[in-house]
Structure 1
Amino acid sequence: MLSQNRTFDANTAGGSPFGDLPEWDLSDLYPGQDSPEIKRDMDWLETACADFADAFEGKLADLDAAGLLDAVLRYEKIDIVAGRIMSYAGLSYYQMTTDAERAKFMADCQDRITAYTTPLVFWGLEFNRLDEEHLDWVLAESADLARYKPVFDRMRAMKPYQLSDELEKFLHDQSTVGAAAWNRLFDETIAGLTFTVDGEELNIEGTLDLLTDADRSRREAGAKALAEVFGQHVKTFSRIHNTLAKEKEIEDRWRGMPTPQTGRHLSNHVEPEVVEALRNAVVEAYPRLSHRYYKLKAKWLGLDRMEVWDRNAPLPMETTRVVGWEEAERTVMEAYAAFDPRMADLAKPFFDKGWIDAGVKPGKAPGAFAHPTVTEVHPYVMLNYLGKPRDVMTLAHELGHGVHQVLAAGQGELLSSTPLTLAETASVFGEMLTFKKLLGAAKTKEERKTLLAGKVEDMINTVVRQIAFYDFECKLHAARSQGELTPDDINALWMSVQAESLGDVFDFMPSYETFWAYIPHFVHSPFYVYAYAFGDGLVNALYAVYEESGESFKDKYFDMLKAGGSKHHKELLAPFGLDASDPDFWAKGLGMIEGMIDELEAMED
């Protein structure tokens, strides 16, 4: 089977089993690593940062509205230039993380930019010391300055937790040898892993893909290969997690953060009680969602008990076919266009202009993402496309991110970035549009059943599994605050959330306890994962409003995406009659999943 060979270069002249897969054209950022444009921008950045500090350090309290606006615009330009360089370096690196030259280039860029921007640390600290009355006065004096108020509000939310200027500069300066270095070690370790399955050597993407193979023996072989290799490297992964969690605990303690999660909530501009309400609603719904669904799935698979390698198994009635790239593109574009032609128009350049890197290649980072780069350029989407129906949904998801990022770019660099809790809105909505299109075209009961079951599984992975991940992280950081954790300690924490979230129909093979090791979010973005559940619940509620209101929904939806990070979630959701702080809000979203499981159970009668 072609789908079993995961180490080919998908973009060689011979093409791939899925058609001609696109590859990034990064020249919209820079022509190459040695281009004079990078040297020009690096030189400009060094001078601009020094000039900014000379012009404004120790003087913010004396600035009038025009002076403060000038400072904001100059800071924003610095942000754009630094972001452009690091976007190019990072995207190039993720194409081949095992390439020493790319790794060196990214590290050198990071080192230089960190050094150049260290003089800017005063900006947020001094801004937070501004008198409230003075700030209100300058904002009232200038509408152009007042539009940045959401940025200022987020900065000032950190005021209770900021350290001395000297300590903040130290933390900024040493960041490249702190979390960033451990992140890089994780990425390079993961990308370099190889797994032997039935005599074939695979990378991590290819081996994880076996967990969705129709052949149960292949799924089992893939799971056992993962467990064996994770076990061999568990000390390295344990060291990475121990170090990052301890580093976070030290910094949080110095800042006076009340919980390990506080920093994430602040950056997401979401109240802790809203996240807690989401978490509690999902955990309380485990029996009605994942436990009930997996019992149905066990029945369909003809199993009394399920193993972990059966969780994402295709259903017996599911057709095992390869979805070519052209079909995937057509499916998603038609779904987007059926919602609104503007959505398809925004998505089209991703396919036509080299904004997607789709193929699986040796050394390429695993997974998928959409990176917004900077507002003066455009986003890039990375996939590891393997021709599975779920890969089509991944394309719809990441393309939704890309469309959102394009629309939000109109806000400018400082206001375009969307908090993680809202950043998943367009991506999950894009998936829902694609799913609904396919469901509407289903010709038989079995086809409808397959589509419904696939969507339920995706939602369980997005909601139930991510909240279980969040609970694991909460337990990990709490335990690490009490002392060093052995690999067995971390394994035990991982297993403590698995049975609870998946249900009693599952058995867990020996060594499954190490499967926490490859989850990148735990390393790169602590507590990120609840954003997926937040986004899924939010989109379920939004989609219900769309089905009720039709055409009047669309302009409001585009306005929400265009807002980027310029509005709080309460303000963004108000036009739709929704409020994430309402305890019933999450119940509605979970109710949509429950309704789909109800329909699946009814099909059994």
Structure 2
Amino acid sequence: MSNWDLTALYPSFDSKEFKSDLEKLDKTIEKLNSFKEKLDDNPETVEDYLKVMAELRSLKRTLGGYSSLRKSTNTSDAEAIKYINLLLNKGSETTEIETKAKKWIAKFDIEELVKKSEYLKEHEFYLSQIKNHDRYILDEKSELIISKLGQTGGTAWSNLHGSLTSTLDVELTLDDETKVVTLSEVRSLASDKDATVRKSAYEAELEAYKKIEKSIASSLNSIKGEVNTINELRGYETPISKTLIDSRMKKETLDALLEAIREYLPYFRKYLRRKAKILGHPDGLPFYDLFAPIGSVSKVFSIEEAQNYILENFGSFSPKLRGVAERAFNENWIDYYPKKGKVGGAFCSNIPPIKQSRILHNFTGTFSGVSTLAHELGHAYHGDCIFGQSILNTSYTMPVAETASIMCETIVMKNALKDAEKEEKIYLLENSLKAITQVCVDILSRYIFEETVFEKRKDSILSVEELKDIMIKAQKETYGDGLDENNLHPYMWINKGHYYSPGLSFYNFPYAFGALFGRGLYSQYLKDKEAFLPKYDNLLRETGKNTVEDVALLADIDVTNIEFWRSSLDQVKEDIELFLELTD
């Protein structure tokens, strides 16, 4: 089955199960709002409040999860859109009590409070986070206004971006024949074997963006403007300050990570220049050949072959990891193929109330697609590790979110390299370098772009031309002479949905963190496999109730120390040197 099965959530929007949970949601909202007059000094009241919050969170995850998953495979799904908006409206009904309760909880001595019951002790980190965030919470009325306006503000602009990019018609001409394809379909041709196809797809993609560039620029300006305004009201110094606080991550950790990446940019550029030379480009690699395959693997994977390949590789790591993948395949957790109206890219959604995940893919049968599937199954494994926790302890932050996914990608790649012949080894190695270049070099360019947009948006609305210019400058700063400066990608800000979340800025550096943190963990696994596995599962299990730095310390890693990041990047450097040697 190539489509996912959502019946473990609900059979349909018209089902008695969905309608019953909607009624339960209303009753739970009512129950939560009844605490407005109950917020006293009694620890039992805190416990009662948390239990209702957990009930509310669970209902939101199932009702909201079903609605958003339905919409992700068909952005024109009218019922899904209706219920997403309905749930957003219902969400604002608890804004006032949640704000009031956070300020109430912040007055308690958390250390003393959690001594009163096992349930409170279990939620110590959750309670501490509320207390730590108290200074950024506004009064109830202001929070309610922000919540309600957000539905027709940032959230609406984000929805517009998703709708325009998923329904954009791209006119692609190949062999004198023009056909209309989706954006995700034309972007998938960036890795086509035929150079003419890659270039034509790139040109068609850039041309298509002109039809939506002004609307998308309005989306970006509105979202970043809203974030700037709300951050200022709350007292955050900068947008990145808020992201780091939300990520439970220190600035010194981010600084160490980015500084290390900048130090190693010359090695990435060596790889890119060699790839350019192989493909016959004397002035660096044109953007349209960034994802071009090098070497050869004739294999095109069917879904069943991809599944078997992953099961074999995951089984070499641990029976538990293989078991999660088997469940995903057997219980139809995955929606595989591209189609009109389906969002591009890939994602995994953990759903704690049913102890399952769902994975969206745009699978085309390439090894890269298999690697992406392994990546998303890593997220599902992470979910499996936290499903035993209270739902209030299952929200892990952006940087550690990529830990298990990168580990799974690495497992597949390393095993594939072991038995490969020279041409296949070149292909696999280059595929790996292509991916790590994206999550280090391209991610750095996205970070620079977003930081610049936030800064400039303080003073004015940015035009399409200004946004394109900022993007090109960011690409030149990071890719340097590795890319042909006359063939860059000025519209990368349109196709990356990460820029368009009003509640989640800078969703870029976590990929770099995850990739390099994952490599550090993999090297520990190689040193002592037996000792590593329980430590690894515990690390993933604890991600919802620790800071990034404390999660890393569970594996004896200091992520504030630049030497750790250098050691991970040294592994990348070794791969680059091997690639240069094999292609000399």
Task: Give distance in 2, aligned partners of 1:52 and 1:297.
Answer: 59
| 2:371 aligned residue | 393
| 2:14 aligned residue | 34
* Residue 491 in structure 1 maps to residue 468 in structure 2: yes
Report deviation, 1:509. 4.8
| 1:14 aligned residue | none
* Residue 173 in structure 1 maps to residue 148 in structure 2: yes
| 1:8 aligned residue | none
Report deviation, 1:314. 0.8
SS of match in other structure, 1:410: coil
Task: Give distance in 2, aligned partners of 1:447 and 1:381.
Answer: 28
TM-score (norm 1): 0.92
* Residue 472 in structure 1 maps to residue 452 in structure 2: no
| 2:253 aligned residue | 274
SS of match in other structure, 1:328: helix
Task: Give distance in 2, aligned partners of 1:121 and 1:71.
Answer: 10
- The one-letter code matched in structure 1 to 2:467 is I
* Residue 146 in structure 1 maps to residue 126 in structure 2: no
Report deviation, 1:579. 1.1
SS of match in other structure, 1:485: coil
Alignment of 1:45-444 (within 5 A): 45-54=25-34, 56-57=35-36, 59-64=38-43, 66-111=44-89, 113-132=90-109, 135-198=110-173, 199-289=178-268, 291-305=269-283, 306-315=285-294, 317-442=295-420, 444=421
Change over 3 Å in CA distance of 1:549–1:333 after alignment to 2: same
Report deviation, 1:27. 1.0
Report deviation, 1:594. 0.6
Report deviation, 1:157. 2.5
Q: For the Cα contact (< 8 Å) 2:99–2:137, is it kept in 1?
A: no
Report deviation, 1:603. 2.6
Task: Give distance in 1, aligned partners of 2:553 and 2:301.
Answer: 39
Point out the more displaced range, 118-127 or 339-348: 118-127
Q: For the Cα contact (< 8 Å) 1:556–1:575, is it kept in 2?
A: yes
Match for residue 547 of structure 1 among 526, 529, 537? 526
Report deviation, 1:536. 0.6
- The one-letter code matched in structure 2 to 1:39 is K
Task: Give distance in 2, aligned partners of 1:542 and 1:176.
Answer: 40
SS of match in other structure, 2:353: coil
SS of match in other structure, 1:304: coil
Unaligned runs of 5+ in 2: none
Task: Give distance in 2, aligned partners of 1:509 and 1:220.
Answer: 14
| 2:494 aligned residue | 517
Task: Give distance in 1, aligned partners of 2:475 and 2:157.
Answer: 26
SS of match in other structure, 1:182: helix
- The one-letter code matched in structure 1 to 2:335 is D
Change over 3 Å in CA distance of 1:359–1:508 after alignment to 2: same
Alpha-carbon RMSD = 1.7
TM-score (norm 2): 0.95
Q: For the Cα contact (< 8 Å) 1:194–1:201, is it kept in 2?
A: yes
Change over 3 Å in CA distance of 1:500–1:122 after alignment to 2: closer
Q: For the Cα contact (< 8 Å) 2:96–2:143, is it kept in 1?
A: no
State the Cα deviation string for residues 476-523 of structure 1 (Å, max 9, x = none): 101101211111111111011112222214224578312321110011
| 1:453 aligned residue | 430
* Residue 527 in structure 1 maps to residue 527 in structure 2: no
* Count, aligned residues: 577
Task: Give distance in 2, aligned partners of 1:252 and 1:370.
Answer: 29
Report deviation, 1:128. 4.8
Report deviation, 1:58. 5.1
- The one-letter code matched in structure 1 to 2:475 is Q
- The one-letter code matched in structure 2 to 1:572 is V
Q: For the Cα contact (< 8 Å) 1:60–1:126, is it kept in 2?
A: no
Change over 3 Å in CA distance of 1:220–1:124 after alignment to 2: farther
* Residue 503 in structure 1 maps to residue 480 in structure 2: yes
Task: Give distance in 1, aligned partners of 2:381 and 2:100.
Answer: 32
Task: Give distance in 2, aligned partners of 1:72 and 1:570.
Answer: 26
Change over 3 Å in CA distance of 1:508–1:515 after alignment to 2: farther
Point out the more displaced range, 116-125 or 37-46: 116-125
Percent of counterpart pairs with the same letter? 25
